[in-house]
């Protein structure tokens, strides 16, 4: 009899996002757990997709992505960041950043290679490293401002370390790495001859005028950094699953070598629509930030009213709340009670840690929701103190 997934995958169980969304649905809780908007991207983008479905292309896209989309990505990278990439050899389209991460890690790693993950990390990274036959080593962001201790990072590197995964703006903690922080990181990366995958899917959701700095733009980084982004968050179309990578031809070719045997290519007509969207991003992005800033404020105010410990995130669309001021110290038990008794679903942050004790007092709330949804969640959260008994 077959008894469940392979040893490689068994430790990862079910994704926390599926688990918490299921709990939200079962208990009719307001879902601030899984990071998807409860609104759609713009109507003009839908119209462009409908037009592309009507008139084609509706057959397989090129394995590397629709040329129109790769060209739009190249133009945007140059306009926004001064990064110049050849759309034929240095840019490739994937079925979401999720597949880009999987294919990049699997294309780049040799079995036994070590990969450094910065805790808190996105949940798919360790699973992808395991599937590629690699080993993870961990370094945690510390303190209330989630600082990276470079000495700790250096101590984590061994002769077998091949790759570092960086996520800025960070899911779940909202940290946006500053230029000086990235410069310091770049020096370590160069000194130890590491490759880097930077996950920048929230590149356009950064607050308070702080710039998003792609690591690849720093001196010496272009030849060793693969930048991953996604249209899901920027255009509020998470279900379209269109992500992409930019990097030196050799690293992009490695990611393509896996991609051709995973999905081979990404959905054709939606790529054509996204090409138009990326060309409109200069006008679109400032409004996106303004809207998310308002939502951030609504959620922050609601969480502050509950007595949970919160800091405003610099980027992405999540707030990490400290549950200890209310007498709780187990994020999983807290989230379970929150969904079933208060009617709001959130994500236990320990899911983003290998050393789960570091994240056990933190819970992630998503604000990629209409202000009405966030306000309704805020009202329910006010009942937190009366309804819930500390689960310690």
- Of 33, 66, 161, 167, the one binding ligand PMP by CB under 6 A: 167
Task: In angstroms, give the least distance from the CB of 171 to ligand PMP.
Answer: 4
Check residue 353 for interaction with ligand PMP (CB under 6 A).
Answer: no
Nearer of residues 70 and 212 to ligand GLN, judged by Cβ? 212
Task: List the structure tokens of 117.
Answer: 């993950």
DSSP letter, residue 210: P
Nearest to 317 by CA among 53, 50, 39: 39
168 binds, among ligand GLN, ligand PMP, none (CB under 5 to 8 A by kind): none
Question: Interacting stretch for ligand PMP, rule CB under 6 A, among 65-73, 203-211, 237-245, 327-335?
Answer: 237-245
Least distance (Å) from ligand PMP to the CB of residue 212? 13
By CB under 6 A, name the binding residues for ligand GLN.
Answer: 15, 17, 34-35, 171
- Binding marks (x or -) toward ligand PMP, 90..129, rule CB under 6 A? ------xxx-----------------------x-------
In the complex, minimum distance from the CB of residue 323 to ligand GLN, in angstroms, rounded to a whole number: 19
- What DSSP string runs through 233-292? HHTT-GGG--EEEE--HHHHHHHHHHHHHHTSS--HHHHHHHHHHHHTHHHHHHHHHHHH
Q: Between residues 201 and 335, which has the closer beta carbon with respect to ligand PMP? A: 201
* Residue 17 site contact among ligand PMP, ligand GLN, none (CB < 5 to 8 Å, cut-off depends on kind): ligand GLN
Smallest Cα–Cα separation from 365: which of 303, 331, 329, 318? 318
146 binds ligand PMP (CB under 6 A): no
Q: Tell me which residue of 16, 32, 106 sits closest to 346, measured CA to CA.
A: 32
Candidate list 92, 198, 230, 314; residue touching ligand PMP; CB under 6 A? 230
Contact 233, 141 (CB under 8 A): no
Q: Report d(CA 111, CA 109) in Å as an integer.
A: 6
CB of 334 within 8 A of CB of 345?
Answer: no
d(CA 70, CA 84): 12
Q: Applying CB under 6 A, which residues contact ligand PMP?
A: 35, 96-98, 122, 167, 171, 199, 201, 230, 232-233, 238, 241, 243
């Amino acid at each position: 009899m077959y008894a469940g997934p392979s040893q490689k995958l068994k430790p990862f169980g079910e994704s926390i996002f599926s688990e918490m969304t299921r709990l939200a649905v079962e208990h009719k809780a307001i879902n601030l757990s899984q990071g998807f908007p409860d609104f759609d991207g713009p109507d003009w983008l839908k119209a462009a997709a409908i037009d592309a479905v009507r008139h084609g292309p509706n057959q397989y896209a090129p394995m590397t992505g629709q040329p129109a989309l790769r060209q739009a990505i190249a133009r945007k990278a140059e306009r926004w960041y001064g990064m110049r990439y050849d759309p034929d050899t240095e840019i490739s389209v994937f079925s979401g950043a999720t597949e880009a991460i999987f294919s990049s890690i699997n294309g780049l790693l040799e079995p036994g290679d070590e990969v450094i993950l910065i805790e808190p990390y996105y949940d798919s990274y360790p699973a992808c490293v395991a599937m590629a036959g690699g080993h993870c080593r961990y370094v945690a962001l510390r303190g209330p401002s989630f600082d990276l201790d470079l000495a700790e990072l250096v101590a984590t590197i061994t002769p077998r370390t091949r790759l570092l995964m960086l996520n800025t703006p960070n899911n779940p903690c909202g940290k946006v790495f500053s230029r000086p922080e990235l410069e310091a990181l770049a020096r370590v990366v160069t000194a130890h001859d590491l490759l880097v995958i930077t996950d920048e899917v929230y590149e356009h959701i950064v607050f308070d005028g702080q710039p998003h700095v792609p690591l690849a733009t720093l001196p010496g980084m272009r030849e060793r950094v693969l930048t991953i982004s996604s249209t899901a968050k920027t255009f509020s179309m998470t279900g379209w699953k269109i992500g992409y990578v930019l990097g030196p031809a050799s690293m992009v070719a490695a990611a393509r070598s896996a991609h051709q045997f995973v999905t081979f290519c990404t959905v054709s007509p939606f790529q054509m629509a996204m090409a138009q969207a990326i060309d409109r991003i200069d006008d679109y992005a400032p409004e996106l930030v303004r809207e998310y800033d308002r939502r951030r404020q609504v959620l922050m105010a609601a969480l502050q009213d509950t007595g949970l410990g919160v800091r405003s995130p610099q980027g992405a669309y999540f707030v990490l709340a400290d549950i200890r001021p209310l007498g709780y110290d187990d994020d999983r038990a807290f989230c379970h009670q929150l969904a079933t008794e208060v009617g709001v679903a959130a994500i236990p942050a320990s899911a983003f840690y290998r050393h789960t004790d570091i994240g056990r007092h933190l819970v992630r709330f998503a604000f990629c929701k209409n202000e009405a949804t966030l306000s309704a969640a805020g009202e329910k959260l006010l009942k937190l103190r009366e309804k819930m008994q500390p689960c310690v």
